[in-house]
């Protein structure tokens, strides 16, 4: 399964404990049935979870009938890109694992915003490029 991450590489797993993703495959894979676009691999914070609950998206309360365990700070979870953008604008965006974030998120969120909250991106992005790409100099996803 999978797809490409924001660097154009194969997407890494976001989380299997708890298992995340629209398709519950551990990845922020998206497709025609994923109308929300669960494409951002976020490391959840208490502030984010409370913000979501206050805005009608309770991710904390377990829902056994939906096989949903409830989430805690520190869990990695595939978040709807528009919701992540909204919490960024509200000043409470959680950290992001870029290597597990689907490139489709870039259709909704500026790359600079994701980079600002990245927990897995090195300062020097040239390490993420192949040898042929390094000849052209470092680039960031736009």
pLDDT of residue 2: 63
Distance CA 139, CA 124 (A): 10
Distance CA 6, CA 91 (A): 22
Max CA separation in the chain (angstroms): 53
Instruction: State in Å, rounded, how far the first CA of the chain is from the last one.
Output: 24
pLDDT of residue 51: 95
Per-residue pLDDT of the chain (142 residues; tens, 9 = 90+): 468 999 999 999 999 999 999 999 999 999 989 988 999 999 999 999 999 999 999 999 999 998 888 999 999 999 999 999 999 999 999 999 999 999 999 999 999 999 999 998 655 544 334 343 334 333 344 4
Distance CA 42, CA 15 (A): 10
Residue whose token pair is 């470092």? 138
Range 1-121 has CATH code 3.30.56.110: yes
């Amino acid at each position: 399964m999978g797809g490409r991450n924001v660097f154009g590489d194969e997407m890494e797993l976001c989380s299997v404990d708890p298992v995340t993703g629209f398709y519950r495959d551990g990845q922020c894979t998206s497709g025609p049935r994923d109308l929300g676009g669960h494409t951002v691999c976020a490391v959840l914070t208490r502030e984010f979870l409370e913000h979501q609950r206050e805005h009608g998206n309770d991710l904390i309360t377990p829902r056994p009938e939906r096989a949903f365990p409830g989430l805690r700070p520190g869990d990695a979870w595939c978040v709807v890109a528009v919701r992540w953008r909204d919490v960024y604008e509200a000043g409470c965006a959680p950290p992001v694992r870029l290597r597990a974030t689907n490139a489709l998120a870039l259709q909704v969120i500026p790359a600079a915003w994701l980079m600002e909250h990245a927990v897995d991106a090195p300062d020097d992005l040239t390490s993420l490029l192949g040898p042929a790409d390094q000849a052209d100099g470092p680039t960031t996803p736009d």
